[in-house]
């Protein structure tokens, strides 16, 4: 997909007026769940955007549930959503109000963590830096994985639509619409399956700003 988008981008930039007067710098980023590569995003982000902007985008599309702390780890330095709290860890710590152009270079790989209790860990790779027509939006989604189909763990045949949080550790938490009606746990324990690596964690219910 990365190669395909790079090929398409060359054509689309020409159509949009690649040599127009108003140009801006962009980083193309590949974002994966650290342990499950089936969840991925490819985004184009202005190089004048900050780490805080990138953190907010990740929260909006994949992560936000209860306002947990989060942070990036880049070249051994932690950039935290609350640097004062993180400073107690006795590691190099900075805040997120720093522009991407001051930190990122093509080929770089770095990490993001959300929620230091039930942590969702992401890996971000800098594909390239390029110039393009200036846009108002700081981030543009170029591509993302299709929603993943899970099989109901009760009937073993139908697509699961919800997760029972009380039973997920017993490999009995993925339920289809039919089996959820016969499940012994209260409906209040159910959360919808969504296109995010945080599915089933801390009651996460999906993004309202960036639907699947």
At residue 172, the pLDDT reads: 83
Please indicate, yes or no, if residue 209 is contained in any of the structural domains. Answer: no
Is the CB of residue 180 less than 8 Å from the CB of residue 190? yes
187 and 95 assigned to the same domain: no
Please indicate, yes or no, if residue 55 is contained in any of the structural domains. Answer: yes
Is the CB of residue 69 less than 8 Å from the CB of residue 81? yes
Write the pLDDT tens digit of every residue in 12-70: 444 444 555 799 999 999 999 999 899 999 999 999 999 999 999 999 999 999 999 99
- Cα–chain center distance at 86: 22
Name which residue leads in pLDDT, 4 or 210.
210
CATH code of the domain covering residue 78 = 3.10.290.30
At residue 11, the pLDDT reads: 43
Residue 101 DSSP one-character state = G
Please indicate, yes or no, if residue 101 is contained in any of the structural domains. Answer: yes
At residue 3, the pLDDT reads: 74
Write the pLDDT tens digit of every residue in 160-181: 999 999 998 888 899 999 999 9
Domain around 176: 149-194
d(CA 6, CA 3): 5
Residue 195 DSSP one-character state = S
Please indicate, yes or no, if residue 202 is contained in any of the structural domains. Answer: no
At residue 86, the pLDDT reads: 52
Q: Is the pLDDT of residue 211 over 50?
A: yes
8 and 94 assigned to the same domain: yes
- Residue owning tokens 């959300």: 114
Helices (H), 59-113: 83-86
Bin 36: left if φ > 0, else alpha if -120 < ψ < 50, else beta.
beta
Total domains in the fold of the chain: 2
């Amino acid at each position: 997909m990365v190669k395909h988008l790079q090929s398409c981008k060359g054509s689309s930039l020409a159509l949009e007026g690649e040599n127009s007067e108003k140009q801006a710098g962009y980083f193309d980023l590949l974002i994966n769940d650290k342990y499950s590569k089936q969840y991925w995003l490819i985004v184009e982000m202005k190089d004048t955007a900050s780490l805080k902007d990138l953190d907010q985008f990740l929260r909006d599309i994949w992560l936000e549930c209860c306002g947990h702390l989060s942070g990036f780890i880049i070249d051994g330095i932690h950039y935290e959503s609350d640097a004062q709290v993180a400073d107690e860890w006795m590691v190099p710590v900075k805040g997120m109000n720093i522009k991407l152009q001051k930190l990122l270079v093509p080929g770089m790989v770095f990490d993001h963590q959300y929620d230091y209790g039930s942590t969702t860990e992401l890996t971000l790779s800098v594909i390239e830096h390029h110039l393009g027509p200036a846009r108002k939006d700081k981030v543009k989604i170029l591509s993302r994985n299709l929603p993943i189909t899970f099989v109901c763990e009760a009937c073993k045949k139908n697509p699961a639509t919800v997760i029972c949080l009380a039973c997920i550790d017993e490999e009995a938490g993925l339920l289809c619409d039919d089996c959820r009606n016969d499940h012994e746990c209260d409906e209040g324990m159910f959360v919808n399956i969504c296109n995010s690596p945080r599915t089933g964690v801390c009651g996460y219910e999906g993004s309202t700003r960036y639907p699947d």
